[in-house]
């Protein structure tokens, strides 16, 4: 029999981290201060802050952030009293000495260490070190739709063995359906002794349904962003998840009207475009391709005069994941050459 975990649902607001993708990581000091205040009033349990790809990720390759990690975290920390401050650390982007320790010096309360869904072993160093330091640490399995339930259990058990307080399934491509969420989250809840969470994206328009399915399957952590602010079709919207939790009478620290106010604030100040579903983001969800590929795929499609949906479907067939952005150009060029051959014939 597994040891019971705390059942009260916790809401992680990733607006100031995942949402940074939607503005090419250009959230400024004023944006962070204003939204951190709103998230505190809304009763979010955790506010995740930083570059869209987490600590240490600001670069030419994935995008230069407007502010340093330290500047972002310091600005948010000053506004938070009840809401905890969190960061995402992906080994390969973030290092212990250069990124993690300075972040902790800024007053970070929780670190989420992420890895591809079949590579949990790369989180070991950071998770074990953070636990030894007494820091709350959670493991995140990215692109988790790509792994079977059996594989996810095996990978999640590794994260549990390393000492993480929770495992969170990331629907990085917005490819989950409620049935798949129920199966995979339910299995992890049954097999593990730590908390299970879910991070939904909206490529197929199912982020709210999937988040609610996760809760009903036993997840005790759900990630949201204001207005769904995020890469591609965006994330599970804070305001809609809050409304559904209210209707279902599921207890959280969220204050409904204050959560609605936080979303309104985001839209009026820094959400340049409310995420919507279009043919490209839908194709990304069907193909199971990382949501952050939508913008570079559009650019490559325009450059080589090919259908962006065809690029995404081929990327999906190849099983391409974040970090393999060069494949977008390669696929676009290949499609252009094939189309040119057909034109000659």
Active site members? 21
d(CA 138, CA 163): 9
Helix (H, G, I), strand (E, B) or coil at 9: coil
The CA–CA distances, whole Å, from 327 to 10, 22, 76, 101, 160 equal 37, 21, 36, 33, 33
d(CA 283, CA 286): 5
DSSP bridge partners of 138: 112, 166
Q: Where are the alpha helices (DSSP H) in the chain?
A: 29-42, 69-77, 101-105, 124-132, 149-162, 178-191, 207-216, 238-247, 256-269, 279-287, 294-304, 308-318, 326-344
Q: Going by C-beta distance under 8 Å and a sequence separation of 6 or more, which residues neighbour residue 134?
A: none
Task: Determine the length of the chain.
Answer: 345
Residue 98, both tokens:
């250069």
Contact 168, 221 (CB under 8 A): yes
Phi, psi of 47 (to 5 degrees): -115, 115
270-274, long-range: CB < 8 A, 24+ apart: 270/23, 270/27, 270/28, 270/31, 270/35, 271/19, 271/22, 271/226, 271/227, 271/229, 272/22, 272/23, 273/22, 274/227, 274/228, 274/229, 274/234
User: Quick one: DSSP state of residue 320?
Assistant: -
User: How crowded is the C-beta side of 32, counted as CA atoms within 13 Å?
Assistant: 30
Burial class (CB in 10 A: 0-12, 13-18, 19+), 128: middle
d(CA 214, CA 39): 22
């Amino acid at each position: 029999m597994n040891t019971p975990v705390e059942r009260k649902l916790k809401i992680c607001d990733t607006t100031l981290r995942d949402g940074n993708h939607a503005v090419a990581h250009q959230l400024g000091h004023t944006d962070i201060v204003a939204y951190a205040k709103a998230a505190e009033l809304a009763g979010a349990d955790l506010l995740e802050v930083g570059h869209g790809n987490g600590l240490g990720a600001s670069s030419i390759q994935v995008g230069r952030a407007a502010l340093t990690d330290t500047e972002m975290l310091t600005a948010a920390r000053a506004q938070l009293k009840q809401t905890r401050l969190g960061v995402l650390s992906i080994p390969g982007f973030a290092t212990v000495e250069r990124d993690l320790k300075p972040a902790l010096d800024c007053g970070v309360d929780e670190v989420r260490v992420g890895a591809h869904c079949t590579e949990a072993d790369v989180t070991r160093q950071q998770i074990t070190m953070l636990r030894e330091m007494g820091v709350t640490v959670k493991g995140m399995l990215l692109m988790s739709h790509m792994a079977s339930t059996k594989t996810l259990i095996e990978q999640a058990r590794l994260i549990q063995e390393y000492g993480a307080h929770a495992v969170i399934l990331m629907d990085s491509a917005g490819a989950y359906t409620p049935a798949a969420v129920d199966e995979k989250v339910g299995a992890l809840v049954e097999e593990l002794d730590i908390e299970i969470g879910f991070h939904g994206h909206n490529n197929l328009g199912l982020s709210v349904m999937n988040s609610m399915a996760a809760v009903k399957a036993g997840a005790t952590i759900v990630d949201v962003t204001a207005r769904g602010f995020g890469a591609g079709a965006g994330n599970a919207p804070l305001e809609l998840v809050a409304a559904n939790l209210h209707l279902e009478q599921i207890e959280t620290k969220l204050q409904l009207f204050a959560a609605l106010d936080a979303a309104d604030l985001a839209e009026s100040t820094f959400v340049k475009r409310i995420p919507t579903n279009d043919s490209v983001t839908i194709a990304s969800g069907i193909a199971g391709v990382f949501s952050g590929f939508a913008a570079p795929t559009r650019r490559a499609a325009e450059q080589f005069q090919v259908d962006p949906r065809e690029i995404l479907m081929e990327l999906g067939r190849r099983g391409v994941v974040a970090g393999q952005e060069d494949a977008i150009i390669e696929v676009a060029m290949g499609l252009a050459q094939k189309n040119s051959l057909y034109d000659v014939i």
